[in-house]
Amino acid sequence: MKNGISRRDFVKATAGVSAAAMLSRTGGVFAAGSDKIRVGVIGCGGRGTGAAMDCVRSSPNVEIVAMADMFNDRLDSSLAELSREVDDKVSVTGDTSFTGFDAYEKVIACDIDMVILATPPHFRPMHLKAAVEAGKHIFMEKPVAVDPVGIRSVIASSELAKEKGLGIVAGTQRRHQKHYRDIMKRIHDGAIGEIVGGQCYWNMGGLWVKKKQPDWSEMEWQCRNWLYFTWLSGDHIVEQHVHNLDVINWAIGSHPVKCMGMGGREVRTGPEYGNIFDHFAIEFEYENGARVLSMCRQTPGCTNRVSENVVGTKGSAYTDGANGYIEGPNAYKFEGDSPNPYEQEHADLIESIRAGRPLNEGRQVAESNLTAIMGRMSAYTGRALKWDWVMNVSKLDLSPEEYEMCDLPVRPIAVPGQTELI
């Protein structure tokens, strides 16, 4: 909180991390499976704490040694929970726990091999850049950016990681879930023929919300209540529905080339819900002409649906978090066990690091992430959009001018037909 810095200095500081970190342990080669992997955690909310536990439970000889969060209370509660649940795999001390906007630099400069990035999504591109430049392997939660400028940064960092032999795995855990992988293999082997369309959904009730406290600045409130501010979360189509869009891109084997969307703010209208929408519906079109309906909603009291359906010339394939099957001439249903994907994604990353063949999912998740961002931009503005323009031309950058606990104004709620396309 005392470490307020300008946006320019915040971004420039990542370059300095590299030099300092070169004096510490780097993400080098692990010749033996028993070699200890020392992990730092940046972002100590519920998902960061959960990811840390998933990481140390996924593989032998993995230890959490450094932690960072913007707020002391979040750091303390996360460390207390880790100590209760996986105490023998945590060796964080006062010298390796940090708070403030610049706390990420201090974790990266510690004696670590791998870092977990789990802050609000806005910060992911700059944290990823710093970690890659410092030679660390990375697990990063989805989404990985909230705007096209951030996506370009993530892709550039992912390419640099590839050159440096560093691993990057993202929190799109369906890519590591056994029944999803089984169904996808069959799709790619031609079980449903050429894909011509599909649907994907994340329709659910409400999530947690934090009302502003008298002693919080506007910046502190927005960062604590980050789900509801587009600059921090990307809106729920980006923060949550990206999972389903990633499955669709995975099945088709590419990103969409255009989209047209709509959405609004019908139920969550109070100031505690910031400036995001509560429902979206987007039509995505792919290079081969396939059209996919995307729908997401966070509205209590309505029917829930979280799933994907892909339609081909020879049948269709259905997937959700617990189930997967194919209908048509090549009908099939997955019947086996599907291990915890939240642990499996860490196990796969660590195994690849120790084998000297690090996984790199950076571009893959960036493209799925941009799919969601493109849909949001279309819904916010009311404009049909093309992928090439969003990826290569759009100058949309939602970053604030200053990173300090100040009275940051809330951006206006988007109005289709009136909100400017940037």
Check whether residue 131 and residue 13 sit in a common domain. yes
Identify the pLDDT of residue 336. 86
Identify the pLDDT of residue 35. 86
Which residue reads 């998902």 in tokens? Answer: 47
Check whether residue 397 and residue 268 sit in a common domain. yes
Is position 420 within any domain? no
Check whether residue 350 and residue 389 sit in a common domain. no
Mean pLDDT across 54-76: 98
Is position 186 within any domain? yes
Check whether residue 395 and residue 356 sit in a common domain. no
Check whether residue 151 and residue 187 sit in a common domain. no
Mean pLDDT across 162-172: 98
Bridge partners for 415 per DSSP: none
Is position 158 within any domain? yes
State how far the Cα of 115 lies from the Cα of 278, in Å rounded to an integer.
32
Check whether residue 355 and residue 396 sit in a common domain. no
Identify the pLDDT of residue 400. 95
Mean pLDDT across 172-197: 98
Which residue reads 């704490």 in tokens? Answer: 49
Calculate the alpha carbon distances from 375 to 71, 129, 146, 253 in Å.
32, 25, 12, 19
Q: CB of 37 within 8 A of CB of 113?
A: yes
Confidence band for 11, pLDDT divided at 50, 70 and 90: very low
**pLDDT tens-digit readout, 121-138:** 999 999 999 999 999 999
Check whether residue 124 and residue 199 sit in a common domain. no
Mean pLDDT across 206-229: 96
State how far the Cα of 238 lies from the Cα of 25, in Å rounded to an integer.
34
Check whether residue 296 and residue 375 sit in a common domain. yes
**pLDDT tens-digit readout, 332-372:** 999 988 899 999 999 999 999 999 999 999 999 999 999 99
Is 16 or 36 the better-scoring residue by pLDDT?
36
Mean pLDDT across 144-172: 98
Confidence band for 7, pLDDT divided at 50, 70 and 90: very low
Given a cut of 80, whether residue 265 has pLDDT beyond it is yes
Check whether residue 310 and residue 351 sit in a common domain. no
Mean pLDDT across 288-311: 97
Q: Cβ–Cβ contacts within 10 Å for residue 419, how many?
A: 16
Whose CA is closest to 14, among 157, 113, 194?
A: 157
State how far the Cα of 237 lies from the Cα of 279, in Å rounded to an integer.
8
Is 26 or 398 the better-scoring residue by pLDDT?
398
Confidence band for 12, pLDDT divided at 50, 70 and 90: very low
Given a cut of 70, whether residue 247 has pLDDT beyond it is yes
Is position 251 within any domain? yes
Is position 421 within any domain? no
Q: What is the pTM of this model?
A: 0.93
State how far the Cα of 125 lies from the Cα of 132, in Å rounded to an integer.
11
Q: CB of 95 within 8 A of CB of 67?
A: no
Check whether residue 154 and residue 236 sit in a common domain. no
Nearest-5° angle of CA 12, CA 226, CA 137?
Answer: 50
Torsion sign, CA atoms 51, 52, 57, 59 = positive
Identify the pLDDT of residue 22. 38
Check whether residue 119 and residue 183 sit in a common domain. no
Specify the CATH number for the domain of residue 304.
3.30.360.10
Mean pLDDT across 39-55: 97
Is position 66 within any domain? yes
Given a cut of 70, whether residue 27 has pLDDT beyond it is no
Identify the pLDDT of residue 167. 98
Average pLDDT over all residues of the chain: 93
Identify the pLDDT of residue 26. 42
- Give the domain range for residue 255: 178-338+369-403
Given a cut of 80, whether residue 147 has pLDDT beyond it is yes
Q: How many domains does the chain have?
A: 2
